Structure 1
Amino acid sequence: MDLKGKVAVVTGAGSGIGYAIAQRFAAAGAAVAINYFGYENEARALAERMNSQGGRALAVKADVAKAGEVAAMVEQTTRELGGCHVLVNNAGVEKAMPLLDVTEEEWDKEVSINLKGAFLCLQAAGRAMRDSGQGGSIVNISSIHEDFPFPLHGPYCASKGGLRMLMRNAALELAPYQIRVNNVAPGAVATPINTGTLNDPAKMQRLSEIIPVGRMAKPEEVADVALFLASDSASYVTGSTYYVDGGMVRYAEPL
């Protein structure tokens, strides 16, 4: 699989899964716009390293929950890198909190970034792909929690469930423009967002019990699936969610 001649925007690419995806895409030949809001130093260093190694990369600061900043990011990417053929909606946040204690502010924050932000980026990149006449691929980094309940994470689950249906609708509406839309749904992944879990031996032990393959994923394992969906190898693939969870959503115990 390669992305030679493609330009990709990866949101939330200063750390974790987004960082790994940006690296994979660059290694596959893509020019990459590395979006960040936090992790600025990491995003800029990654772009500089890609450029020094003969690739083409751009670090772009944008709050994905703000339409004007998203539009400017896509416009800058198109102008400086020569197009927008792939979008990876990766930016996301989560916070553990009992449902009855969730504040309006926290609800708005998670839904705005995880769902509204994905919509705004999909819309802006989708317009660029449509207008180019070349089509493209949109990959949303969702979660197993678009289907699988996650107590104490009500806003997160609601936003990811919404992202599932946004993907399905978008796949149908954008297909006439040769734009494919799919979700990647990671389970437990060793990234900064899971630092608390990674530092808790009891939680790590329990994860090893409920994940059939017995371990957390590496960010690169999620990036490999995103690369497939972004590439022409997935030219007939649209409208689906691809689980990268070691079988976690299928976990069951005999009675």
Structure 2
Amino acid sequence: MDFTGKHVIVTGAGKGIGRATAVMLARRGAKVVALTRSAADLESLEKEIGCVPIPVDLADAAATRAAALKALPADYLVNCAGTTELEPFLDVSVENFDLLYAVNTRAPMIVAQEYARDRVGKGAKGAIVNVSSVAAFVGIPDHAAYCASKSGLDGLTRVMARELAPKGIRVNGVHPTVTLTPMAVKAWSDPDKAAGMLGRIPVGRFADPDDIAEVILFLLSDEAAMVNGLSMPVDGGYTIA
């Protein structure tokens, strides 16, 4: 898949799946516009791939919209930024619930709105990939707010796919299993908890960020021209086990 000459917005590009996606896109010719909160992550990514760095706290709606507008124009969009807080359902705080919805659900909506408005206004085609999670499909203990936020993102993706495809913009979702990122280390550092999850993945391992990035690039590409509204598990068979 060749992305030479294409500009791609990647949120959450500083770490994990977002960074792997940004690096892979750059190696295949794209100019990446990287949105993430950490200035240090942006600095190191810019040195590595020559991206356009835009620091932003995606929990801030106004700042997110301003960053999205600054990132334009772009050919494609990858909404990859995400966060989590681990709490049993009975202990979920309103503050953490609101934070996860702000970053995991509301921010993708805002960035996609500005990206799509720009493309539609120019009569140009495009593609959006929203990075969700298998947590949108199943109830994972201690992940109540995270599961809810990713399920919300899935609902958003389906509506976007219905409304934007007639305007030339395909929208799909990717649903990784546990992927070896800093956030996953935080969530799955307990060996007993990790063993239970691994036991449900037929391929017998957690994902690497590049496993997910390859699927994201396919869904952005012209090779996926008839793929729209997909909820694509990249989970080693977890959801069928």
The answer to whether the aligner puts 1:138 opposite 2:137 as a matched pair is no
Does the 8 Å contact 1:64/1:113 carry over to 2? yes
2:62 equivalent among 61, 68, 82: 68
The structure-2 alpha-carbon separation of the partners of 1:212 and 1:108, relative to structure 1 and needing over 3 Å to count, comes to same
Residue aligning to 1:14: 14
Does the 8 Å contact 1:197/1:204 carry over to 2? no
The answer to whether the aligner puts 1:47 opposite 2:46 as a matched pair is yes
The structure-2 alpha-carbon separation of the partners of 1:5 and 1:132, relative to structure 1 and needing over 3 Å to count, comes to farther
State the distance in 1 between where 2:40 and 2:205 align: 30
Give the alignment of 1:140-219 within 5 angstroms.
Answer: 140-196=130-186, 199-219=189-209
1:113-151 Cα offsets, whole Å, 9 max, x none, are: 111111111111111221222121110000011111112
Residue aligning to 1:35: 35
**Is there any run of 5+ residues in structure 1 with no aligned partner, and where?**
52-56
The answer to whether the aligner puts 1:238 opposite 2:228 as a matched pair is yes
Does the 8 Å contact 1:64/1:120 carry over to 2? no
State the distance in 2 between where 1:143 and 1:110 align: 13
1:155, CA displacement in angstroms?
A: 1.1
Root-mean-square deviation over aligned CA pairs: 1.5
The structure-2 alpha-carbon separation of the partners of 1:171 and 1:219, relative to structure 1 and needing over 3 Å to count, comes to same
1:3, CA displacement in angstroms?
A: 1.4
* Partner AA of 2:55 in structure 1: K
1:197, CA displacement in angstroms?
A: 5.5
1:198, CA displacement in angstroms?
A: 5.6
* Partner AA of 1:75 in structure 2: L
Does the 8 Å contact 1:182/1:241 carry over to 2? yes
**Is there any run of 5+ residues in structure 2 with no aligned partner, and where?**
none
1:42, CA displacement in angstroms?
A: 2.1
TM-score (norm. length: structure 2): 0.94
State the distance in 1 between where 2:183 and 2:76 align: 25
State the distance in 2 between where 1:169 and 1:202 align: 38
State the distance in 1 between where 2:58 and 2:7 align: 19
State the distance in 2 between where 1:196 and 1:159 align: 18
Q: Tell me, what secondary structure is at the counterpart of 1:64?
A: coil
Sequence identity of aligned pairs in percent?
Answer: 38
The structure-2 alpha-carbon separation of the partners of 1:198 and 1:172, relative to structure 1 and needing over 3 Å to count, comes to closer
* Partner AA of 2:225 in structure 1: S
Which is higher, the Rg of structure 1 or of structure 2? 1
1:66, CA displacement in angstroms?
A: 3.1
TM-score (norm. length: structure 1): 0.89
State the distance in 2 between where 1:169 and 1:67 align: 21
Residue aligning to 1:89: 79
